[in-house]
Structure 1
Amino acid sequence: MPRVVPAVIRALDILELFLERPQLSAREVAERLDLPRTTVHELLVTLVARSYLISVPGQPVQYRLGMPLFLLGAAFAGRLDLVREAQSVARDVAAACDEAVHVAVLDGADVVYLVKVDSTHPVRMVSGVGLRLPAHCTAVGKILLSSLDPASLDAVLTKGALPGMTPESITDPDFLRAHLEGVRAEGVAVDIGESDSAMRCVAAAIRDHSGATIAAMSISAPIIRWTSPAPAEWTKLVREGAASLSARMGYSAQPL
């Protein structure tokens, strides 16, 4: 088993003390945790340096929680809101098309699926919540990659050769960049057997209150059901579903 780091545990113990009281002194921290004052001093100096704690103005040995902890909490709460709202919208979209609906987020060069609502058909996509796939091989991933600024996209694409999942996967970074320009212009992305030769997917972006793309929603179906006019109908449906979820996340298409 990997070894836990005692200094990190002590730092977390210090932060958790502030769940009980909004302000503590160095002496109170040392007494409550039964730690040497020199150890507490070093940990407090480190936490202050990263702004996880701040010194109370006029009381330099008194501390309270800093802004990064609020931001971490807000990010966690936001993700919970996204999952809860995404499950509701995804159920509605799946009911309308009777195909698998996913909501995923970008994590480095991969996508991670947060929500899945399956179809009722006996032949359907094999996937699940928590599944991680190379972003460039999926429709949701292409949407998310297309939302990155050039520097962020370069950082993802310069980590090595792009892996292929099927013969249809895009593995050339330059070709992918050009492909993503089209995705950005269209507002939707498709996966034509690039992650699974037997499946087809179409995806659209989910935005937050600031207009930033925070996730993507897709409809996935086996190739045997990817016949006209279904793909056009599913494209419209996934756009509407993503727009509905974006609205729930605070996005307004009209300038405020």
Structure 2
Amino acid sequence: MSASQDGGEAAEAATKDGRGLVPAVERACQILDLVSKSPQGLSASEIARQIGIAKSSAHTLCATLAHLNLLIRRSDQSFHLGSHFMRWANAFSERSDVAAEFATIWDEGTQFPGATITLSVLEGTEVVYIAARNSHFLPSFEFRVGMRLPAAFTATGKAFLSYMSDFEVKRLFGEGFPAPLTARSPKTLDLLLKDIDACRKRGYTMDDEGVLEGMVCFGYPVLNSRNRPIAGLAVSLPKRDFDEPEIEKIVTNVREIARKISSRLGADV
């Protein structure tokens, strides 16, 4: 296929639905879909014929996918799905399971009057929210599924970080520390490490207006079958002077929900 043809296809794809699309990525997905439906595998020639592309293009795409472990090439030159998919499948499965258990336990009647409760996972230096039950008591802020926030400032992020060594935390933020969201956000990595150490000692994590002025969050990790954090659970409340019995009650409830989800996921709690 000529460069002009590739350019024409790219321009045509870019106008589809008003979005810029990459033809090579679409073809790669088509190849993976085809191979996944073929137990015996497919040769590059068969793939080219079924998709309607040149054999040379099919060979190049399959070779690239094999290099990334998304495909494997057998001795008979047939292509099959590679091992890299297991990472994605496991990650998706774990996320789906933990979100489902969160919803089930909430629906069973667990309540935090006046509170927002959230569930998030760690991606790099950020947490991504995968479930949330928002309360009208925090009208100025709403957690949304898919929302990303710096792990350094959130109670759920600190739930993950508290299971890491200081060296691991430093390596995680090796490319830079996030800009503060409020005046009370940790400003440096050293301050974050002190905060995490305090979280470990008291047995739960806390965001004291680090994400939003006027909001305080209490967090606890959700563990998988290897007893490693798979998600962070947090309850968020309007900022006020909580006395010790109130904090203990809130933390106990958060811990109970997190441990119940962890137990259902196979953790030893």
Query: Structures share a fold, TM > 0.5?
Result: yes
**1:18 matched residue in structure 2:** 35
**1:127 matched residue in structure 2:** 142
Contact 1:26 1:40 in 2 (8 A): yes
**2:70 matched residue in structure 1:** 52
Letter in 1 for 2:27: R
Task: Quote how far apart the aligned CAs of 1:27 are.
Answer: 2.1
Kindly provide the CA deviation profile for residues 99-141 of structure 1, in whole angstroms up to 9, marking residues without a partner as x. Answer: 221111122222222211234xx53362222332222222112
The 5 A counterparts of 1:24-103 are 24-56=42-74, 58-59=75-76, 61-91=77-107, 94-103=110-119
**2:121 matched residue in structure 1:** 105
SS at match of 1:24: coil
Contact 1:206 1:245 in 2 (8 A): yes
**2:251 matched residue in structure 1:** 235
Structure 1 regions of 5+ residues with no counterpart? Answer: none
Letter in 2 for 1:196: L
User: How high is the sequence identity, in percent, across the aligned residues?
Assistant: 27
SS at match of 2:266: coil
Q: How far apart, in 2, do the equivalents of 1:93 and 1:225 lie? A: 27
User: CA 1:133 to 1:94, structure 2 compared with 1: closer, same or farther past 3 Å?
Assistant: farther
Alignment pair present for 1:147 and 2:179: no
4+ aligned runs moved over 6 Å, structure 1: none
Contact 1:217 1:242 in 2 (8 A): yes
Contact 1:219 1:238 in 2 (8 A): yes
User: CA 1:92 to 1:131, structure 2 compared with 1: closer, same or farther past 3 Å?
Assistant: farther
Q: How far apart, in 2, do the equivalents of 1:102 and 1:33 lie? A: 43
Kindly provide the CA deviation profile for residues 17-73 of structure 1, in whole angstroms up to 9, marking residues without a partner as x. Answer: 0233121122211211122111111112222222211123x42x2121111123312
SS at match of 2:36: coil
Task: Quote how far apart the aligned CAs of 1:196 are.
Answer: 2.0
Kindly provide the CA deviation profile for residues 159-205 of structure 1, in whole angstroms up to 9, marking residues without a partner as x. Answer: 33442222222112112112212323433111222222212211101
Structure with bigger strand share is: 1
Structure 2 regions of 5+ residues with no counterpart? Answer: 1-17
User: CA 1:134 to 1:8, structure 2 compared with 1: closer, same or farther past 3 Å?
Assistant: same
Letter in 1 for 2:59: H
User: CA 1:96 to 1:166, structure 2 compared with 1: closer, same or farther past 3 Å?
Assistant: closer
Task: Quote how far apart the aligned CAs of 1:15 are.
Answer: 0.8
Contact 2:35 2:79 in 1 (8 A): no
Task: Quote how far apart the aligned CAs of 1:227 are.
Answer: 4.2
What TM-score, normalized by structure 2, do the two folds share? 0.83
Q: How far apart, in 2, do the equivalents of 1:224 and 1:182 lie? A: 20
Q: How far apart, in 2, do the equivalents of 1:88 and 1:212 lie? A: 22
